[in-house]
């Protein structure tokens, strides 16, 4: 079983440490969610794993050292969807999803029938058929998210990184996208790493949570281990109440008596 | 249901080839002494050793083969080069304002040509192409060296800024040199405005290999240019070696542009207007845009040159002025009539 191993990962830019000493391992089919207050280094951590941000520490997949890989080899293992993907004006949904096949093509080759079949399959899988010829720049928030996930799936890599996949979406689309990710990781044996803002939602689908604060892992484990009143108070500076929903924590913000939520 | 990948259809290839050939033949026909199209075809056939071609054209053959055809073909080749290089730059830098001169080709070539002109050497005219070619290549090399050391991850922005700085620096030096040689200003100026007034086939023979190689490379990289459209970071995670590919296409585009500029001077606007006009017509995919820019740029410059040498005959209008004068309104017209997909 394919497993991603990260040991002592650290990112420093211009002498400032953004992420330090992050270690975890993740196998296909599992979903790790990174939470933490604004500026904690969540996106930076994802970028480091995606290889678009210089980092130190060990990164490997099974016995392969990720740092020895070139862009193309890495892309065959890891797909990445940023918080705000660039959807080029005038590009059809089909052509956008087809970009996911880049890693499987020689620089000067054209897409083969197989690449086109895979793209078509992914489009059907994500119920994007009716959007196939639509300009990606004209899609709504939920559709955009599905299209970018489709591109990541077309890449056919066993690890997918999604930076805040639900932040811009209303509750209906949030649910749709999360259900989709959850289904795909089980069906297609994909290891998923997401970052997320909504704490309750982060306890709902992922198997494991990792809380970052100032670039360091302050808590890691199951939702009920990580989402505690103390953790959230210490690192988010928020007063919350944790309620129980069938063993999954619900994080409810509380109004403080003085009328200010700062402690 | 399989969706076809964007590519230039066979019909488009045929239509474009026919259009290009018709434009070339027509442009050869028109001039101070009009020649019939049949003579043009006959002259071409005869010089290309097509069997059984009658050789009874007299002076028309000299007009066609020695004077007009080399000039028209040079116009076509240079137009192709500038348009496809412009499209490529717009793609790799994700910047709709990018043109082949973005990284300092024009300023470098201008400085090189100015040095050659003011050198006063007996062979100064023959020196101009060599000097401007070297100047152009040198300027882009300088830009690339400076721009690469910028903040990592922002390379395309720092390259563009380095290009602006290098261009300004070289232009300042060129102006200084030019001011110190008042007697040569006119000559420098006419070079800067661009000219297709050539010495027969020699100029074409000199630049054709570079332009052919360059255009071929850009054509080969057309699919990859589409990957750039999601930005450097995402393109990297899709598996594209962004910096390496950008370096390759910049070198290819610079080689061809420098060669083109070295014999024609600075012809502005083609690299911006032709790709953008085509974007409005066929969309933003470089798989289609690059091949069509190669043909469209050629046709555009042949037409512009036709206007340059006939509109105020016997006076010739500098080609750079024509491309701007007809290019800008034409572009505004299509921009107004098709307000979709204008961005890169």
**Regions of chain A short of the pLDDT cut 50:** 263
Model pTM? 0.89
Q: Which residues of A touch B7 (CB under 8 A)?
A: 110
Residue B215 lies in a domain: yes
CA distance B13 to chain A (A): 18
* B 255-284 residues with CB < 8 A to A: 279, 283-284
- Residue B54 CA, chain-centre distance (Å), reads 36
How many folded domains does chain B comprise?
1
Helix, strand and coil content of chain B, in percent to the nearest 5, comes to 75, 0, 25
What is the enclosing helix (H) or strand (E) of B125?
helix B124-148
Q: B330: which residues sit within 8 A by CB, 6+ positions away?
A: B273, B277
Q: Hey, are the CB atoms on B237 and A50 less than 8 Å from each other?
A: yes
Give a yes or no: residue B251 inside a domain: yes
All domains of chain A, ordered by start, with CATH?
3-84+157-253 (3.40.50.300)
Is residue A239 within 8 A of residue A253, CB to CB? The reply is yes
CB contact under 8 A, B239 and A88: no
Would residue B6 count as lying in a domain? no
Identify all chain A residues contacting B223, using CB atoms and an 8 Å cutoff: 108, 110-111
Token pair for B226? 């589409």
- Listed in sequence order, the residues at least 6 apart from A5 whose beta carbon sits closer than 8 Å to its beta carbon are A25, A58, A59, A60, A61
pLDDT of the residue at A47: 95
CB contact under 8 A, B343 and A71: no
pLDDT score for B3: 59
d(CA A232, CA A241): 10
Q: Phi first, then psi: give them for residue A6, nearest 5 degrees.
A: -120, 125
* Cβ <8 Å between A80 and B221: no
- Give me the pLDDT at residue B154, please: 67
Give the residue on B whose Cα is nearest the Cα of A151. B238
Predicted pLDDT of residue B151: 55
Residue of B nearest to A75 (CA): B239
- Residue at B22 is within a domain: no
Domain assignment present for residue B154? The answer is: yes
- Residue-level length of chain B: 344
**Which residues in chain A are closer than 8 Å to B279, comparing Cβ atoms?**
90
Task: Name the minimum distance, in Å, from the CA of A50 to any CA of chain B.
Answer: 7
Distance CA B64, CA B206 (A): 20
Who among B237, B284, B340 is closest to A88 (CB)? Answer: B284
Cβ <8 Å between B3 and A54: no
Residue A75 touches chain B, beta carbons under 8 Å: yes
Strand A208-213's sheet: what is its strand order?
A: A78-81, A159-162, A191-195, A31-35, A208-213, A216-221
Tell me how far apart the alpha carbons of residues B22 and A26 are, in angstroms, rounded to a whole number. Answer: 64
Q: Is B200 on the interface with A (CB under 8 A)?
A: no
Residue B21 inside a domain? The answer is no
Report the number of secondary-structure helices (H) and strands (E) in chain B.
Answer: 15, 0
Q: Are B35 and B44 in contact (CB under 8 A)?
A: no
User: pLDDT tens digits for chain B (344 residues)?
Assistant: 455 777 788 888 999 999 999 999 999 999 888 888 888 888 888 888 877 777 777 888 888 888 899 999 999 999 999 999 999 999 998 888 888 888 889 899 989 989 888 887 766 677 888 888 999 999 999 998 888 765 555 677 888 889 999 999 999 999 999 888 888 888 888 888 888 876 678 888 888 999 999 999 999 999 999 999 999 999 999 999 998 999 999 999 999 998 898 888 888 889 989 998 898 888 889 999 999 999 999 999 999 999 998 988 788 888 888 998 887 887 788 777 655 444 44
Alpha carbons within 13 A on the beta-carbon side of A12 = 9
Minimal CA separation from A100 to chain B, in Å: 6
Q: B251 to chain A, minimum CA–CA distance in Å?
A: 17
Residue B33 domain-assigned (yes or no): no
Calpha distance B321→B304 (Å, rounded):
9
To the nearest whole Å, the CA of B339 is away from the closest chain A CA by 12
Q: Domain range holding B192?
A: 38-45+59-337
Q: Could you tell me if residue B5 is inside a domain?
A: no
Please report residues of A whose CB lies closer than 8 A to that of B219: none
Query: CB distance from A14 to chain B under 8 Å?
Result: no
Task: Tell me the β-bridge partners of A159.
Answer: A78, A191
CATH of the domain at B312: 1.10.3470.10
Give the pLDDT score at B152.
53
Residues from chain A contacting residue B95 (CB–CB below 8 Å): none
Q: What is the ipTM of this complex?
A: 0.91
Task: Please tell me the distance in Å from B231's CA to the nearest CA on chain A.
Answer: 7
DSSP B5: P
Interface test with B, best of A18, A75, A92, A102 (most B CBs within 10 A): A102
Query: Is-contact B66 B200, C-beta < 8 A?
Result: yes
Q: Which of B237, B245, B340 sits opposite A52 (nearest CB)?
A: B237
Q: Do A71 and B242 touch (CB under 8 A)?
A: yes
Nearest Cβ partner for B343 among A54, A89, A133: A89
Contacts of A150 in chain B (CB under 8 A): none
Q: Which of B3, B223, B340 sits opposite A94 (nearest CB)?
A: B3
């Amino acid at each position: 079983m394919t497993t991603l191993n990260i040991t002592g990962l650290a990112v420093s830019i211009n002498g400032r440490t953004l992420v330090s000493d992050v270690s975890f391992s993740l196998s296909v089919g599992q979903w790790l969610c990174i939470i933490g207050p604004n500026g904690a280094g969540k996106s930076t951590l994802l970028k480091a794993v995606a290889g678009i941000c210089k980092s130190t520490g060990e990164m490997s997949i099974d016995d392969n050292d990720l740092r020895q890989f070139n862009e193309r080899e890495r892309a065959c293992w890891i797909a990445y969807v940023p918080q705000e993907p660039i959807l080029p004006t005038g590009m059809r949904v089909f052509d956008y999803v087809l970009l996911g096949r880049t890693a499987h093509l020689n620089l000067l080759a054209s897409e083969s029938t197989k690449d086109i079949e895979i793209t078509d399959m992914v489009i059907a899988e994500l119920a994007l058929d009716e959007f196939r010829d639509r300009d990606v720049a004209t899609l709504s928030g939920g559709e955009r998210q599905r299209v970018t996930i489709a591109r990541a799936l077309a890449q056919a890599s066993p690890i997918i990184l999604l930076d805040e996949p639900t932040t811009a979406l209303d509750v209906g689309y949030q649910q749709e996208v999360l259900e989709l990710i959850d289904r795909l990781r089980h069906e297609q044996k994909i290891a998923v790493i997401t970052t997320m803002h909504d704490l309750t939602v982060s306890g709902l689908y992922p198997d494991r949570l990792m809380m970052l604060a100032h670039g360091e892992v302050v808590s890691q484990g199951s939702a009920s281990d990580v989402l505690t009143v103390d953790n959230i108070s210490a690192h988010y500076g928020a007063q919350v109440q944790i309620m129980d929903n069938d063993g999954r924590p619900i994080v409810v913000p509380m109004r403080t008596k003085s009328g200010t939520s700062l402690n | 249901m399989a969706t076809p990948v964007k590519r230039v259809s066979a019909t488009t290839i045929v239509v474009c080839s026919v259009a290009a050939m018709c434009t070339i033949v027509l442009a050869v026909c028109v001039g101070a002494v009009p020649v019939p199209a049949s003579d043009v075809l006959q002259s071409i056939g005869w010089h290309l050793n097509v069997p059984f071609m009658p050789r009874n054209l007299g002076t028309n053959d000299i007009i066609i083969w020695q004077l007009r055809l080399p000039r028209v073909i040079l116009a076509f080749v240079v137009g192709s080069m500038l348009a496809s290089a412009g499209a490529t730059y717009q793609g790799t830098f994700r910047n709709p304002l990018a043109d082949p001169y973005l990284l300092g080709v024009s300023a470098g070539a201008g400085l090189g040509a100015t040095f050659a002109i003011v050198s006063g050497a007996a062979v100064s005219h023959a020196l101009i192409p060599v000097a401007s070619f070297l100047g152009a290549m040198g300027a882009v090399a300088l830009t690339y060296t400076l721009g690469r050391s910028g903040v990592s991850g922002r390379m395309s922005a720092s390259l563009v800024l380095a290009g602006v700085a290098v261009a300004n620096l070289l232009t300042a030096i060129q102006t200084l040199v030019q001011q110190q040689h008042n007697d040569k200003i006119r000559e420098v100026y006419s070079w800067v405005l661009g000219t297709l007034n050539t010495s027969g086939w020699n100029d074409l023979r000199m630049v054709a290999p570079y332009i052919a190689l360059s255009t071929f490379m850009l054509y080969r990289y057309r699919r990859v240019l589409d990957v750039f459209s999601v930005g450097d970071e995402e393109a990297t995670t899709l598996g594209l070696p962004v910096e390496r590919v950008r370096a390759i296409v910049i070198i290819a585009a610079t080689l061809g542009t420098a060669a083109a500029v070295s014999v024609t001077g600075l012809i502005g606007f083609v690299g911006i207007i032709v790709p953008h006009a085509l974007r409005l017509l066929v969309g933003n995919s470089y798989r289609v845009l690059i091949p069509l820019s190669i043909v469209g740029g050629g046709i555009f410059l042949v037409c512009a040159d036709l206007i340059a040498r006939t509109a105020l005959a016997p006076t010739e209008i500098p080609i750079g002025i024509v491309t701007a004068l007809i290019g800008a309104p034409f572009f505004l017209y299509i921009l107004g009539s098709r307000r979709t997909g204008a961005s890169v």
